[in-house]
Amino acid sequence: MDLEKLHCLFYPKSIVIIGASSNPLKPGGQPLSALVAAGYSGEIFPINPRYEEINGLKCYPNLKSVGKEIDLAIIAVPAKYVPGMLQECGEAKVQTAVIFTSGFAETGEEGKKLQEEIVSVANKYNIRFAGPNCLGIVNAPAKVMANFAVSHNPEKVVKDNAYAFISQSGGFGTITYAEAQKQGLGAQILVSTGNEADLDFTTFLHYIVEHTDVKAVAAYLEGVKDGKSFVQAADKALTKGIPLILLKVGKHEIAAQAAKSHTGSMVGNDDIYQGFFHQKGIIRVNSVEEMLPLLSLFADKKLPRGNRIGILSSSGGGSVYLADLCTDAGLEVVKLSPNTCKQLEENLPSFITANNPVDLTSHAMMEEGILKNALKAVLEDPQVDLVMVYFNVAGEPTRHIIAQLEEAYRTADKPILCIGWSHNEEDHLLAQELMRQAGIPNTLQVEHGVKALATLASFAGHFRMRQASQESPGTTNGLVGKGKEYLAGFDRKALTEREAKQLLQLYNIPVVREEVARSAQEAVSLAEKIGYPVVLKILSPDILHKTEAGGVILNLHSAEEVTAAYDRIINNAKAFNPEAHLEGVLVAELIPPGRELILGIKADPTFGNCVLVGTGGVFVEVLRDFASGVPPISRLEAEAIIKRLKGYPMLEAFRNLGPADLESLVEAVLNLSRMALDLEGIISELEINPLIVGEKGQGVKAVDALITLN
């Protein structure tokens, strides 16, 4: 990907505005006035044959007349003129463009053709462009205001709030950013991606993660066009410790694809996104309200070592309330260490009890030093990883209170979140502004604030795990190509159970011991080789659902039983489907009942072949209990996938069973991930159901498997 070229978009030395206007409310007017107001230091060339001059800048009739090298063209002319203008851009060697104009693919067939036209012009001249049908971009440090509909003052951008916000909806992006700005959370970079005819969400993400110093990337996301590239961008972001905070919509789309397997039919595209978000520590938010406290917290860039929270509150009721919310969110309201308790008792008035939460009482907000000393003591407690302060502000004392917070916090290496409540808007806005200036993360949203702290702790965990892991997740362990070889020349859509298991074995996934018998006599001798009890199963490419066909008989203990079962199965199969080609009967070892899991592969339209893990039996049916990951899956990621299952506690020592053989299970997931990658585009679905997981040291075994091909 030619990301270097995007420098011309984000740090242009010169900008032309095609369709420039003197009206700052018009798309061709707003960037012009905003660039001037912001103090953009490059050259600006308004282009409009109707004017000689706009806002004191010379206006050019066309691009050619500018006669200079141009990094960025802002295009704000009606749709039908856009291809022509882009052609002119190409001829004038313009590097990049932002196309505001709507009326392209979003409007139907004709618009789609027009869009194809501009793509082909852009390709011809190697112009990279944002849009069409977008609100443009802002890069505040460079004072590039190539945007309309967001009134944005780069002076208001606070270094400490330096996040990027990418939106696939212009309007909704504006709403979100307006809410953020009201809370003092100015962005460093804004991108409205529009129709993504050329530059798409993922490309912008790559650029921002690699080439800017943002502390977080937030986005409104409907879907990515290139899942594989998104995987790389997300991975890069995690490695650099840049959190991705995504409001991903479209959760409840009806799954477009029909699926044959159990899990396959339950797992939709959004589930795969969700699994991927877990895998890479991507933070999914459900609402703008949930997003904003995160932006405030991540601006501070202090990652906690764990999830043990210390709470200070000026209200006793508030203490209980916060302790509940923190525990709900997965934070540990920790017991303060004896030394901290001693410090609190020595330095603070006697009515303050040294417990967590520390109830400072309302008196403490008025008396010098109480807040500061308490906060210092709690921040220094080795038992505490992060701190929350809940206090009231009113009038002039607000400054004093926030000065105390600042003093205690300045040298701390632990994150803090402050929530100052007040009786009126003015007090609240004052407190917010003072905290912003002091670089103290804050919010008014108590519930989302607490959740944000928990998210911070969990992101820190993901980041550390990534730093600690030396493993390259891409390794295929010498398995590459084996499956393709096996399937070469294969002309059926579905594999037989036996074929499916042979394929699994090629990728080192253990299967039950079984062999094909072509007569009752052969079945008996195989049973005796394998050892009783055994299971007999019909083997036919034409019978996928064997149980329905009466093609499975379990728990056979003797030669007589095996002989009878063989004949019965053959008769049942013939009755079920007289046309079916019968390859024989599988004689398999009977695995004693154990923990049943389901493993699967599903081809997802965004991410390609994905790996699914589910708890078997009632759990998957009643609770849809599964988790997923996008290959390549690392060992730590595989472990995390398994731990996400609701039924996970059953894999620990449970009832009269010892702990399950997690090591072998993880190995199976890793091998499945390698298989999924190796057979990308070839397999459409795979389901191992059940996979029996033995106790520690006993391994796992695929008992049944179903594979369908593209």
Question: Would you tell me which residues interact with a copy of itself (CB under 8 A)?
Answer: 151, 167-175, 178-179, 181-182, 220, 222, 247, 249-252, 286-290, 314-318, 320-321, 323-325, 327-328, 362, 392, 421-425, 428-429, 445-448, 618-619, 621-623, 646-647, 649-650, 654-655
Reduced DSSP (H G I as helix, E B as strand, rest coil) percent helix, strand, coil of the chain, to 5: 40, 20, 35
**Beta carbon nearer to a copy of itself, 286 or 477:** 286
Separation CA 218–CA 163 (nearest Å) = 7
Minimum CB distance to a copy of itself, residue 153 (Å): 12
**Beta carbon nearer to a copy of itself, 53 or 621:** 621
Q: Do residues 104 and 117 make contact, with C-beta atoms less than 8 angstroms apart?
A: no
**Beta carbon nearer to a copy of itself, 451 or 501:** 451
Collapsed DSSP state (helix, strand, coil) of residue 481: coil
**Beta carbon nearer to a copy of itself, 323 or 565:** 323
Q: Do residues 354 and 381 make contact, with C-beta atoms less than 8 angstroms apart?
A: no
**Beta carbon nearer to a copy of itself, 45 or 273:** 273
**Beta carbon nearer to a copy of itself, 39 or 649:** 649
Q: Do residues 77 and 104 make contact, with C-beta atoms less than 8 angstroms apart?
A: no
Minimum CB distance to a copy of itself, residue 380 (Å): 26
Separation CA 252–CA 255 (nearest Å) = 9
**Beta carbon nearer to a copy of itself, 359 or 499:** 359
**Beta carbon nearer to a copy of itself, 174 or 307:** 174
Name, in order, each residue with C-beta under 8 angstroms of 529's C-beta and a sequence gap of 6 or more: 515
**Beta carbon nearer to a copy of itself, 81 or 654:** 654
Minimum CB distance to a copy of itself, residue 582 (Å): 26
Minimum CB distance to a copy of itself, residue 115 (Å): 18
Q: Do residues 554 and 535 make contact, with C-beta atoms less than 8 angstroms apart?
A: yes
Q: Do residues 236 and 463 make contact, with C-beta atoms less than 8 angstroms apart?
A: no
Name, in order, each residue with C-beta under 8 angstroms of 639's C-beta and a sequence gap of 6 or more: 662, 666
Structure tokens at 347: 């330095």
Separation CA 167–CA 248 (nearest Å) = 10
Of 503, 477, 508, nearest to 633 by C-alpha is 477
Minimum CB distance to a copy of itself, residue 68 (Å): 36
Name, in order, each residue with C-beta under 8 angstroms of 479's C-beta and a sequence gap of 6 or more: 506, 507, 508, 671, 674, 675, 678
- SS3 track for 68-129: CCCCEEEECCCHHHHHHHHHHHHHCCCCEEEECCCCCHHHCHHHHHHHHHHHHHHHHHCCEE
Minimum CB distance to a copy of itself, residue 694 (Å): 18
Of 503, 457, 419, nearest to 685 by C-alpha is 503
Minimum CB distance to a copy of itself, residue 4 (Å): 31
**Beta carbon nearer to a copy of itself, 92 or 266:** 266
Minimum CB distance to a copy of itself, residue 284 (Å): 11
The residue type at 535: V
**Beta carbon nearer to a copy of itself, 319 or 634:** 319
Helix (H) or strand (E) holding 696: none
CA distances (Å), origin 208, targets 71, 96, 151, 273, 553? 18, 16, 22, 21, 59
Of 229, 225, 245, nearest to 297 by C-alpha is 245
Minimum CB distance to a copy of itself, residue 167 (Å): 7
Minimum CB distance to a copy of itself, residue 647 (Å): 6
**Long-range contact set of residues 340-348: C-beta below 8 Å, sequence gap at least 24:** 340/377, 340/378, 340/380, 340/381, 340/383, 340/384, 343/373, 343/377, 344/373, 344/374, 344/377, 347/373, 347/374, 347/377, 348/373, 348/374
Minimum CB distance to a copy of itself, residue 390 (Å): 9
Minimum CB distance to a copy of itself, residue 695 (Å): 17
Separation CA 493–CA 679 (nearest Å) = 14
Of 19, 85, 12, 21, nearest to 43 by C-alpha is 12
**Beta carbon nearer to a copy of itself, 24 or 316:** 316
Minimum CB distance to a copy of itself, residue 237 (Å): 23
Minimum CB distance to a copy of itself, residue 271 (Å): 14
**Beta carbon nearer to a copy of itself, 80 or 363:** 363
DSSP label at residue 60 = B
The length of the chain is 710
Helical H runs in 303-445? 316-328, 338-347, 370-380, 397-409, 425-438
**Beta carbon nearer to a copy of itself, 578 or 649:** 649
